[in-house]
Amino acid sequence: MLDTIKSMDEQFVLPTYARQDIAFVSGENARLKDTEGKEYIDFTSGIGVVSVGHGNPVVTKAICEQVGRITHISNLYRIEPQAECARRIVERSGYDMKCFFGNSGAEANEGAIKIARKYGEVDGQVKRYKIITLEHSFHGRTITALKATGQEAMHNYFGPFPDGFVYAKSIDEIEGLIDDHTVAVMIELVQGEGGVQPLDREKVQALAAMLKAKDVLLMVDEVQTGIYRTGEFLASNLYGIEPDVITLAKGVGGGVPIGVVMTAKKDIFAPGDHGSTFGGNYLSTAAANAVLDVLEAYKESGKLDEAFLYFETELKKLFEEYRGLFTDAVGFGMMRGLRAKDADTLARVIAKAREEGVLVLKAGRNTLRFLPPLTISREEMDEGFTRLRRALAAL
Ligand SMILES: *Cc1c(COP(=O)(O)O)cnc(C)c1O
């Protein structure tokens, strides 16, 4: 079966991914089964997407019930689960904002960039359009989100790009880069793809205050950090800031594509300024509402914080045991990394872990990245760390 899948994939799908030769057929919370019947512990949750675990019964039921009634009817009409989803996200965030729904992280960030560009347009004045982002950032793969991404290596081939993106080497450099044309700063509070690198909380708070004073928008890309991944509903809550724009995607729909841009500039768009055919349809927002049901209850019961503490404790133990392979333990909540001593070690760890039946990710700065489902059980964590230890011991 795997061979058939592989040959079709190689013949008909563009080779944009360096795929591993595994195909999964089913999953239950943090456990997965492949075509050969081998079982894995999933410390990746589909890159932070399947936040409520594989085959979550609450989300499955909500999706099935919704598609049995109505799946999609376009944004020309009022959509109950979309309105409900917006209300819940806004209320949970604690920010006075409104939402727009798209289908991915990149699309959410495109929305954020459009908000900034429109905000910079004030009649009779020089337009402000520049957006400052950070080196090692990741904001998505569309042409504009790619240009916003502060990784020069990703800018080969695809130019010319939209103008107006400026990269700061670190948060300390941002203020010095602001000029009369700067309209926004876009940051991840914990850089995900860039290596699970959290920004310093005090520095972020000082940045937020400085930007407010200069009327430059603070836009936080929470595509990876959002919806309890770092412990709070949003990483912005954890950092104690009030951004002007926040984007969400990965964990929101439990595997159903959805992206959200939310902003305190509630009057920025008029009808026709922005849109999306699929964005916020019945399917994706019903799924998101079910994900929120599951995670809100999990957080309120104290189980989420318990699981976070256990995962952190176990990961730190493993880090201490293998100081020969790793130089640092980084991250928050269920978004964590171990910095490998070099790229070769990282590749060998990931391959060996897979052999032993545990899935882990890589990220920038030679980071072994962990993004387990937020609902991962203690048994699943134990099993995953046991397998990972077996893999590390074999290196
Ligand atoms: C994954 C990611 C994106 C891109 O999301 P897509 O859904 O792949 O477009 C953007 N920003 C951050 C921080 C991400 O982690």
Q: Which atom of ligand 1 is nearest to the CA of 47?
A: 1
pTM higher than 0.75: yes
C-beta of 249 in contact with ligand 1 (< 6 A): yes
pLDDT at 124: 76
- Per residue in 351-367, pLDDT tens? 999 999 999 999 999 99
pLDDT at 122: 82
C-beta of 222 in contact with ligand 1 (< 6 A): no
pLDDT at 277: 98
**Residue 207 burial (CB count, 10 A):** 21
356 is known to lie in a ligand binding site: no
pLDDT at 123: 77
CA dihedral (371, 376, 377, 379) positive or negative? negative
Angle between helices 282-300 and 303-321 (to 10 degrees): 80
- Per residue in 232-268, pLDDT tens? 999 999 999 999 999 999 999 999 999 999 999 999 9
CA-to-CA distance for 335 and 44, rounded, in angstroms?
10
Report, as an integer, the average pLDDT of 305-319: 97
C-beta of 223 in contact with ligand 1 (< 6 A): yes
pLDDT at 63: 98
138 is known to lie in a ligand binding site: yes
Cβ atoms of 285 and 84 closer than 8 Å:
yes
Residue to mutate (ligand 1; options 110, 224, 229, 258; most atoms within 8 A of CB)? 224
CA-to-CA distance for 106 and 154, rounded, in angstroms?
15
CA-to-CA distance for 56 and 199, rounded, in angstroms?
32
Terminal-to-terminal C-alpha distance of the chain: 31
Question: Whose Cα sits closest to atom 10 in ligand 1?
Answer: 139
pLDDT at 393: 96
pLDDT classification of 61: cutoffs 50, 70, 90? very high
223 is known to lie in a ligand binding site: yes
Report, as an integer, the average pLDDT of 163-175: 98
Q: Which atom of ligand 1 is nearest to the CA of 109?
A: 10
C-beta of 105 in contact with ligand 1 (< 6 A): yes
pLDDT at 25: 98
C-beta of 140 in contact with ligand 1 (< 6 A): yes
CA-to-CA distance for 243 and 222, rounded, in angstroms?
11
Report, as an integer, the average pLDDT of 182-203: 97
Q: Which atom of ligand 1 is nearest to the CA of 222?
A: 13
Structure tokens at 3: 């061979």
- C-alpha separations of 270 from 87, 273, 275, 370 in Å: 20, 6, 11, 40
Mean pLDDT for the chain?
Answer: 97
pLDDT at 187: 98
C-beta of 194 in contact with ligand 1 (< 6 A): no
Ligand 1 centroid – CA 320 distance (Å): 31
H helices present in 155-199, as ranges: 174-177
Q: What is the DSSP string of 142-167?
A: SHHHHHHSB-GGGGSSSPSPPS-EEE
C-beta of 224 in contact with ligand 1 (< 6 A): yes
Strand blocks (E) in the chain = 24-28, 31-34, 39-42, 98-102, 130-134, 165-168, 182-187, 190-191, 197-198, 217-221, 245-248, 259-263, 326-332, 335-340, 358-359, 361-363, 367-370
pLDDT at 330: 97
pLDDT at 290: 98
pLDDT classification of 231: cutoffs 50, 70, 90? very high
Q: Which atom of ligand 1 is nearest to the CA of 141?
A: 9
Residue to mutate (ligand 1; options 17, 189, 191, 193; most atoms within 8 A of CB)? 193
Query: Bridge-partner residues for 135, per DSSP?
Result: 150
192 is known to lie in a ligand binding site: no
CA-to-CA distance for 28 and 165, rounded, in angstroms?
42
Q: Long-range contacts made by residues 299-307, C-beta under 8 angstroms, separation at least 24?
A: 299/228, 299/233, 304/228, 304/231, 304/374, 305/231, 307/334, 307/374, 307/375, 307/376, 307/377, 307/378, 307/381
